[in-house]
Structure 1
Amino acid sequence: MNVTLSMTIDQHEVLRHHLFPGDGLEAAALLLCGGSGHGDRYRLSVRDVVLLDHDKCKRLDDRISWPTDLIIPHLDHAEELGLSVVKVHCHPGNFPQFSEVDDVGDRELLPVVRSWVGADIPHGSIVMQPCGRLFGRYLWQADEMRSMDMISVAGPDIRLFPAKAHNRNSPFARSQDQAFGDGTTATLARLRAGIVGISGTGSPLLEQLIRLGFGEIVIIDPDTVEERNLNRILNSSVADARADRLKVDVAEAAAIATELPTKIIKVPSTLMSPAAIHSLSVCDVIFGCVDTHTGRFAMNLVSTYHIIPYFDVGVMLDAVGEGDAAGRIRDIFGTVHYIVPGRSSLISRDVISLRTVAQEGLAEADPQAEEQQVRDKYFRGLNVSRPAVISINMFAAALAVNDFLARVHSYRQMPNSDVGSIEFSLGQLRLTADEEQEDCALLRPWLGHGRISPLVGLPELSEARS
């Protein structure tokens, strides 16, 4: 089983300030985590950070203990909500592994936590080093503690702390690490990415992730290849269109043909399905290549509930609408939005609106009622742009992938905290970075909740209806 844990940069900073107050003594906290399991993966997402009072703990430079009644209320809370409990403490001396004292303490604490909470979920123990690095282990169904495969911190910089290093001696790794930083290939080989939409921007984005050496990639798309979209789907053919082959099948076959190690996990359904949400919920990063408000809203929810960095890719062609020049392109725009879970969202950035989400849902469920509401001017008529120029889509996809790489191994001159989104204009030859916007009051309360029922709080994703 691959068990990972994710937290936000804000949660990480709260922990770091508490665990290293400057006195050289150990300190401790508890993490109450939501979770989601799918296949052989389980992802813990930090919901609450509980700081254990320094004055109520017995603190030394190589160990820490506390009275049982200090944590009982939090164990009761975890039992009530079915949350995983993860102990965190520091090693002020920078000891890079669990100590013998830690082993004894975890063997006493974690079985008690498992029995107390009762649910069939993992519980764990994490150590933070002075540099902020984290490493951890978990206890689940057996009595043996196992290493967490990855601990990730989602912020303007994406910090990834894998349990083990992969062999990086291949020419593939050496040339890539030279460009983007030592260890890039080894880190990417541990990651699962999710791509929603495998057509215009999703197809070239998938190709790049495979060539970068991602370990696993979830691809979600319900549609089949058609002759009208052969001009923008890599590796597709006229034969695929005539055979009505699923886009995910074509993409998987092309990936297998490369003989590269990336594993493709295909989900031939819409994003608004339990199968798609489950697959995305255990990803380490997700990319949205969809053009509906509903799809973008759902991806923003997955990012929030499971603390997953989210890159949203959008392209728009500005064309003359009427007259002799009708159809002539005036400019080509695109934007890559990077969403840090718990901060701003596509809603607070005014990229999507809940009114349009509601309209799209009504259009699918009751087209006649939707038409009536448009006539009544309750909703404005939908106008979805679907650019179909491969050079534009590949440019946008590359921009998103390079933004991701810059956040894993920084290479930009400006700090990542100054780059909330990147907008381009090919007509004006302009590339502009916009700063992070204000936090989203609507989504922030659901940070780290993990899998709930209905999924990501949407009634249409009730598994009883699937």
Structure 2
Amino acid sequence: MRADLTFSELHLGVLRAELCRSDDQEYAAYVLFGLSRIQEDPFSRQPRLRLMVKDVLPVAEEEIKSVDHQHISWSTNRFVDLLSRAEREGLQIGIAHSHPRGPNYFSSQDDRNEAELARLAQNRNGETAIMPSLLFANGELVAGRVWTSPDNVVDLEYARTIGSNWQTIFFAAEHNVVSPTLARQELALGAGFNRLMGHMRIGVVGAGGTGSPLLQQLPRMGAGHICIFDPDHVEHSNLNRLYGATWDDAERKVKKVEVAKREIERMGLGTQVRTYDSWIGSAECRDALKSMDLIFGCTDDHDGRLLLNRLAYYYLIPVIDIGLALRVTERFGISCLEADGRATVLEPGSSCLVCRRIVDAGAAAEEALRRTDPEEYERRKSEAYVRGEGNPSPAVISFTTSVATMAVEEMIQRMNRFRGEDGSIANRVRKFNLVEDFRPGARQEPCRICASDRIHGLGDVQPFLGRAG
């Protein structure tokens, strides 16, 4: 069993403010967590627990029995009350406390106290209840663990934050492999960036026009783990924009994911690749999607975008959604190409694709029908109840590559802040024909996905992501 943690910059700030005060005393807080249970991580092939911080509730002064710089003791009556809330809302209750002068590890007293809280949690909420615990020292989060029973504990491997700045806190020392291929990148972005790229699990949904150039860049930037999702095969009309794809691939209808995997492995840079040639809503993709630290949405279907849209908020996994629209218009008798590229970051604190009017619910429903009941789809199509396939969209490799690069630039900003502390852009549209970038807004009244913190970090629910069907 492996385990990790995700929280927002806001929740990390609240924990630091509450637990790491200047009076040099220990402090404690209750923490409510959403939970993601992964049966098999695509890379380690082991089960994984992913915790998402939902709420922080400081232990009040009147609850504290005794405290100094080396210990804190408080009444656990509220812990019992919170167990009831956790069961009702599908959450887990844990604790966080501080060691103002160290040590940077849990004490034997912590072990005894937390084992009893784990026993209390399982007695009240059943054997599936867990009891997470976080430790702060010298103003920083230094350790974390999960009690899966009163006798068994799993250490957290790392914690990551989402928001305008993505940080990762490693709890265990990792062996850093210095690669000569990344030496120039290290000069620009630092050794920490290279280490994080090697550690992250990155998903790419769609290995076509924008996904293909992404999959050329990410391994060369040191990506250690990549999952690729795409059910389609190579066609002759794809060859003008699929890197590495050949005429023979189109003739033999080779899967796009296999072409992408082949090209990455040809680089010989050590990137581990897992491929899924199913639609992302399929059950076989679920564990892999939930295991990612970052996902690039390179799909052109509305239903797939709606799924990723929910995934970002339910599981606190940032999604960078990419879009490109090419239109040929006529002005004053002259044929003109208009090209709009877009990179949109989906995570709590940012507006979703629905509120930005990027996805069409009607088109998504038609796509779902075509996938699940093709006969009914064709019947409705013949009766003009659905829009049909339409004409093929224009595609030019220069523009698909440029839009993919926009998305990579946003990833770099949030990991490295090369544009400065306030340089992150949640939604950027590039008008190639005008040589300008724009930042379109969203609806004034956000929807129940991006506006409702009830689902942010909620994790596993039935049905998956609260989607019917």
What TM-score does the superposition give when structure 1 sets the normalisation length? 0.87
- The reply on whether 1:207 has 2:208 as its aligned counterpart is no
Distance 2:392 2:24 in 1: 58
Alignment match, 1:11: 11
Residue of structure 2 aligned with 1:392, choices 399, 404, 412: 399
Distance 1:383 1:62 in 2: 69
In structure 2, stretches of 5+ residues that fail to align are 41-45
- Shift of residue 430, structure 1, vs aligned partner: 1.6
Matched residue of 2:191: which SS?
coil
Matched residue of 1:348: which SS?
coil
Matched residue of 1:256: which SS?
helix
- Shift of residue 278, structure 1, vs aligned partner: 2.8
- 1:50-89 equivalent positions in 2, closer than 5 A: 50-58=57-65, 59-79=67-87, 83-89=91-97
- The reply on whether 1:243 has 2:244 as its aligned counterpart is no
Distance 1:373 1:7 in 2: 49
Q: Which moved more, 1:280-289 or 1:202-211?
A: 202-211
Rate the CA distance shift 1:49–1:28 in 2: closer, same or farther, 3 A. closer
Distance 2:119 2:161 in 1: 27
Residue of structure 1 aligned with 2:328, choices 319, 325, 335: 319
Distance 1:386 1:128 in 2: 53
- Shift of residue 181, structure 1, vs aligned partner: 2.6
Matched residue of 1:300: which SS?
helix
Distance 1:432 1:413 in 2: 19
What TM-score does the superposition give when structure 2 sets the normalisation length? 0.86
- 1:34-433 equivalent positions in 2, closer than 5 A: 34-39=35-40, 40=46, 41-58=48-65, 59-79=67-87, 83-93=91-101, 96-120=104-128, 122-129=130-137, 131=139, 133=141, 135-140=143-148, 143-164=151-172, 165-320=174-329, 325=334, 328-341=335-348, 343-362=350-369, 364=371, 365=373, 366-367=376-377, 370-371=380-381, 386-413=393-420, 415-416=422-423, 419-433=425-439
What is the percent sequence identity of the aligned residues? 28
> Can you list the C-alpha shifts for 1:283-302, whole angstroms capped at 9, x where unaligned?
11111001122111110111
In structure 1, stretches of 5+ residues that fail to align are 461-466
User: Given residue 19 of structure 1, which amino acid in structure 2 is its aligned partner?
Assistant: L
User: Given residue 58 of structure 2, which amino acid in structure 1 is its aligned partner?
Assistant: L
Matched residue of 2:5: which SS?
strand
The question of whether the paired residues in 1 share the 8 Å contact of 2:327 and 2:338 is answered with yes
The question of whether the paired residues in 2 share the 8 Å contact of 1:220 and 1:266 is answered with yes
Rate the CA distance shift 1:105–1:159 in 2: closer, same or farther, 3 A. same
Distance 1:433 1:129 in 2: 40
- Shift of residue 85, structure 1, vs aligned partner: 3.2
The question of whether the paired residues in 2 share the 8 Å contact of 1:88 and 1:125 is answered with yes
- The reply on whether 1:29 has 2:30 as its aligned counterpart is yes
- Shift of residue 94, structure 1, vs aligned partner: 6.5
Aligned residues: 454
> Can you list the C-alpha shifts for 1:348-372, whole angstroms capped at 9, x where unaligned?
1222243443344345543257548
- Shift of residue 64, structure 1, vs aligned partner: 2.2
The question of whether the paired residues in 1 share the 8 Å contact of 2:54 and 2:458 is answered with yes
Matched residue of 1:151: which SS?
strand
> Can you list the C-alpha shifts for 1:376-428, whole angstroms capped at 9, x where unaligned?
xxx888878744211111111111112111101111046145x2122212212
- Shift of residue 27, structure 1, vs aligned partner: 2.7
Matched residue of 1:125: which SS?
strand
Rate the CA distance shift 1:102–1:114 in 2: closer, same or farther, 3 A. same
The question of whether the paired residues in 2 share the 8 Å contact of 1:304 and 1:342 is answered with no
The question of whether the paired residues in 1 share the 8 Å contact of 2:35 and 2:49 is answered with no
Rate the CA distance shift 1:316–1:420 in 2: closer, same or farther, 3 A. same
- The reply on whether 1:442 has 2:443 as its aligned counterpart is no
Rate the CA distance shift 1:9–1:176 in 2: closer, same or farther, 3 A. same
Distance 2:413 2:104 in 1: 27
Matched residue of 1:14: which SS?
helix
The question of whether the paired residues in 1 share the 8 Å contact of 2:6 and 2:159 is answered with yes
Rate the CA distance shift 1:89–1:172 in 2: closer, same or farther, 3 A. farther
Distance 1:420 1:347 in 2: 14
Distance 2:414 2:443 in 1: 18
> Can you list the C-alpha shifts for 1:305-347, whole angstroms capped at 9, x where unaligned?
111111000011131169964xx44321101001123542111
User: Given residue 105 of structure 1, which amino acid in structure 2 is its aligned partner?
Assistant: N
User: Given residue 35 of structure 1, which amino acid in structure 2 is its aligned partner?
Assistant: S
Matched residue of 2:134: which SS?
strand
User: Given residue 347 of structure 2, which amino acid in structure 1 is its aligned partner?
Assistant: V
Distance 1:360 1:391 in 2: 28
Distance 2:463 2:166 in 1: 29
User: Given residue 146 of structure 2, which amino acid in structure 1 is its aligned partner?
Assistant: Y
- Shift of residue 303, structure 1, vs aligned partner: 0.9
User: Given residue 49 of structure 1, which amino acid in structure 2 is its aligned partner?
Assistant: V
> Can you list the C-alpha shifts for 1:218-274, whole angstroms capped at 9, x where unaligned?
111001111211221122112222222111122222222322222111111012212
The question of whether the paired residues in 2 share the 8 Å contact of 1:374 and 1:380 is answered with yes
Matched residue of 2:459: which SS?
coil
